[in-house]
Amino acid sequence: MRRMSYGRHRALKLCGDATVGKAQSTLESVTAPRLLWGVQERSYSPTIVAGCLAAAATTGALLAMGRRIGSVRVLFAAIGSVPLHTPIAITIGAAVTGLVLHLVGAFVWSALAVRLARGFRRRFLAAGLAATTQFTVSWIVAWWTGRGLSSVLALGDRLVYAVVLACALVVGMRFAFLMSRNAPTDARSL
């Protein structure tokens, strides 16, 4: 550790020349914890982090849109009616099926966005492409089957949904890639 002087103030340079090239140390030893409660570092997949954020944001958007329409269950029942091959009926079973499918879909779109972001190196482009693909697939499903989210939402609501998805993916990938960059890279520190 070396001291650097900037005018009247002094600062310690924490990652001096001695620590360059070495892996970060963990918060606590895995084999012999020294603290009252063990604190261990965890690294999660960027897809899981971005997917959780995208699922939360888009579910919130659908709840707000459903409330404005008159019933929150309408939108999730519309999603659930596609695999059930039933007309859109506001039942608990269709709504729960739709909610589960919506959450799975959010993780699928986040996996696509993360994969594209690693290839393009541009999160905005990857998230926009994933949201555009979701918008197009939703429209094709509604056109083909007469059911689905696009069959009950107006065009403006579908565009808002796509923008919310894209923004959530950008923020989720930024957070996920930041976490993976700060994760320990040495096998001994895990």
**Bridge partners, 2 (sequence order):** 13
Q: What is the DSSP letter of 70?
A: T
Amino acid at 28: E
**pLDDT level of residue 36 (50, 70, 90 thresholds):** low
Instruction: Show the beta-strand stretches assigned E in the chain.
Output: 2-6, 9-13
Q: Does residue 164 register a pLDDT over 60?
A: yes
97 C-beta neighbours (distance < 10 Å), count: 20
Global pTM reads: 0.71
Position 29 pLDDT exceeds 80? no
Is the pLDDT at 105 greater than 60? The verdict is yes
- pLDDT(83) > 90: no
| Helix, strand, coil % in the chain, rounded to nearest 5 | 65, 5, 30
Locus of tokens 């879909």:
105
Whether the pLDDT of residue 55 is over 90: the answer is yes
184/51: higher pLDDT? 51
- Comparison of pLDDT for 120 and 42, the residue scoring more: 120
Helix count (H) and strand count (E) of the chain?
A: 6, 2
CB 117 within 8 A of CB 51: no
Average pLDDT over residues 135-156: 90
* pLDDT the model gives residue 70: 87
Q: What are 95's two structure tokens?
A: 């709504």
Give the per-residue pLDDT at 185.
47
pLDDT band at 188 (very low <50, low <70, confident <90, very high): very low
pLDDT tier for residue 186 given thresholds of 50, 70 and 90: very low
Domain ranges of the chain: 46-179
Long-range Cβ contact pairs of 106-109 (< 8 A, separation 24 or more)? 106/51, 106/54, 106/55, 106/58, 106/59, 106/165, 107/47, 107/48, 107/51, 107/54, 107/55, 109/54, 109/133, 109/134, 109/165, 109/169
**Distance (Å, rounded) from C-alpha 73 to C-alpha 91?**
8
The three-class DSSP label of residue 190 is: coil
Write out the two tokens for 82.
Answer: 């596609």
Task: Check residue 54 and give its pLDDT.
Answer: 94
**27-41, 43-57, 92-106, range with the lowest pLDDT:** 27-41
Q: What is the mean pLDDT of residues 21-42?
A: 58
* Size of the chain, expressed as the number of residues it contains: 190
